[in-house]
């Protein structure tokens, strides 16, 4: 019998709804962090348990490691792990204060001479990593790593000395793109959606949208995927769709696509839910554990996108 005044249990999604099926998948397969994120986003769970789970990945240098980003294994801090941690903190409204000050000190310590982030710091060498992720001694600055970090810090009105040069790098990188690939475009959108100079961001996004369509970087017709090239180095079926760029209707990338194109994209996303309740990963699988750990992350992201566009998930 429940104690007097105890909180009622969270509502259960309707049986057989996309959310109910995804919940069973998450409880069956996900790490503690993704279980708590799912509960926070869809079952009225608190933010404290999410932050507690995330702390297990934090290192003394202020960065994050321990395979938080599943394709990089081992304990060492990496920019991609740390970007993921910031996105988790942002998702639960905790992206500020001393925790972010520590992160910015770490970002400063691993930045290139340009003040931006490499995709992979050479400290990863010696630990397992996806074979499609190069590890070099003097890695270059990458929009792929820097854009999402700068974007999430700006969206939370964080101001730190590291941000000034990193923001300048992102502007230069975004505005000089002539050829690109989907993940880099997604990183550019993550930056532009929160960049403080909104008129400049809108102009840059408009140019990027034309580039995406000209180079067919978005599969606009899911029923005819052979008509769209897959970027070099990507898995054979690693297409990207309008919803991958415009993850919500508020994104600047939403203007790149017609209503019909976005509707087809969201129909395709909804139909991708598999029998076990989870969504698949499209990138190259290289080991069982990273693929297993990534699927709950992809599942939560798919539910977020569908809900952001008003699709019924349960």
- Residue 12 has a pLDDT of 62
Asked if residue 120 lies in contact with residue 69, where contact means CB atoms within 8 angstroms, the answer is no
In a domain, 294, yes or no: yes
In a domain, 70, yes or no: no
In a domain, 63, yes or no: no
In a domain, 54, yes or no: no
**Residues of the chain scoring pLDDT < 50:** 1-4
Furthest-apart CA pair in the chain: how many Å? 65
In a domain, 269, yes or no: yes
d(CA 204, CA 185) in angstroms, rounded, equals 11
Domain total in the chain: 1
Q: Which residues span the domain enclosing 294?
A: 177-314
Return the half-sphere exposure (C-beta side, CA atoms, 13 A cut-off) of residue 224. 5
- Residue 52 has a pLDDT of 98
- Residue 1 has a pLDDT of 43
- Residue 59 has a pLDDT of 98
d(CA 141, CA 119) in angstroms, rounded, equals 7
d(CA 169, CA 154) in angstroms, rounded, equals 14
- Residue 16 has a pLDDT of 86
Return the half-sphere exposure (C-beta side, CA atoms, 13 A cut-off) of residue 85. 30
In a domain, 300, yes or no: yes
- Residue 151 has a pLDDT of 98
In a domain, 295, yes or no: yes
Burial class for 105, CB neighbours closer than 10 Å (0-12, 13-18, 19+) = middle
**181-197 tens-digit pLDDT:** 999 999 999 999 999 99
Does residue 310 come out as left (phi exceeding 0), alpha (psi in the -120 to 50 range) or beta? left
Asked if residue 170 lies in contact with residue 191, where contact means CB atoms within 8 angstroms, the answer is yes
- Residue 2 has a pLDDT of 43
- Residue 35 has a pLDDT of 98
User: The pTM is what?
Assistant: 0.93
Does residue 229 come out as left (phi exceeding 0), alpha (psi in the -120 to 50 range) or beta? beta
């Amino acid at each position: 019998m429940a104690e007097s005044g105890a909180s009622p249990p969270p509502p259960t999604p309707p049986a057989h709804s996309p959310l109910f099926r995804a919940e069973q998948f998450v409880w069956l397969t996900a790490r503690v962090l993704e279980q708590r994120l799912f509960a926070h986003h869809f079952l009225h769970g608190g933010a404290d348990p999410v932050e507690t789970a995330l702390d297990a990945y934090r290192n003394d240098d202020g960065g994050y490691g321990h395979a938080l980003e599943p394709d990089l294994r081992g304990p060492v801090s990496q920019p991609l792990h740390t970007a993921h941690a910031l996105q988790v903190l942002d998702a639960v409204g905790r992206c500020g204060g001393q925790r972010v000050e520590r992160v910015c000190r770490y970002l400063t310590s691993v930045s290139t001479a340009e003040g931006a982030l490499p995709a992979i710091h050479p400290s990863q060498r010696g630990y397992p990593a996806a074979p499609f992720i190069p590890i070099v001694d003097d890695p270059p600055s990458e929009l792929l790593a820097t854009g999402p970090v700068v974007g999430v810090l700006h969206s939370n009105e964080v101001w730190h000395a590291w941000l000034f040069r990193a923001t300048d790098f992102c502007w230069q990188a975004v505005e000089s793109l002539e050829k690109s690939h989907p993940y880099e475009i997604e990183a550019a959108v993550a930056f532009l959606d929160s960049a403080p100079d909104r008129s400049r961001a809108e102009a840059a996004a408009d140019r990027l949208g034309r580039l995406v369509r000209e180079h067919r970087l978005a599969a606009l017709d899911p029923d005819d995927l052979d008509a769209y090239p897959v970027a070099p180095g990507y898995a054979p079926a690693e297409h990207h769709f309008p919803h991958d760029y415009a993850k919500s209707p508020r994104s600047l990338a939403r203007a790149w696509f017609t209503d019909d194109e976005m509707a087809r994209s969201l129909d395709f996303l909804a139909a991708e839910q598999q029998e076990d309740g989870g969504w698949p990963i499209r990138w190259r699988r290289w080991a069982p554990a990273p693929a297993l750990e990534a699927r709950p992350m992809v599942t939560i992201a798919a539910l977020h996108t569908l809900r952001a566009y008003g699709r019924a998930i349960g």
